[in-house]
Amino acid sequence: MKYLFVLTLFAVVAFFLYWRLRPYIRAARRFLGVMREVNRMREGAAPRADLPRQPERGKAAAGSGKLVRCAGCGTWTPAARAVSLRAGASYCSHACLERAADSPRRERQSAS
């Protein structure tokens, strides 16, 4: 009976210790994963497929990118990254598009 009590007490202490150190363990695992990827890329191996990747754009699209103005906030963004609608309006992000759709419609005044 004594051994069962000691074993249970040891398990509770180990669980409590793990529970308190869990964020640090998670951070260490992330750091080690990043270091593994850096080493893999340094050696010239292809990046792992299970990691999220940014879509690759050609050099022509990056160098000669046409800028379009966001209809919601007025920010200039590359046309390749802009969210375009069929009506011809372009937005810098999906969030800006949603804000523009939720806000009341404002009439633009002409200079004349």
Tens digits of residue pLDDT in 19-55: 999 999 999 999 999 999 988 888 876 555 555 555 5
More confident residue, 89 or 17: 17
Rounded to an integer, what is the distance from CA 56 to the centroid of its chain?
16
Q: Is the dihedral of CA 78, 73, 91, 87 positive or negative?
A: negative
Q: What is the pLDDT of residue 61?
A: 47
Q: Mapping DSSP to helix (H, G, I), strand (E, B) and coil, where does residue 68 land?
A: strand
Q: What is the DSSP letter of 49?
A: T
Q: What is the pLDDT of residue 25?
A: 93
pLDDT tens digits for 46-87? 555 555 555 555 444 455 578 888 888 888 988 888 888 877
Q: What is the pLDDT of residue 53?
A: 54
C-beta of residue 47 within 8 angstroms of C-beta of residue 41: yes
**CA torsion angle 36 37 41 42 (round to 10):** -40
Quick one: average pLDDT of 8-25?
A: 94
Q: What pTM was computed for the model?
A: 0.37
C-beta of residue 79 within 8 angstroms of C-beta of residue 90: yes
Q: Which residue has the tokens 């009341």?
A: 104
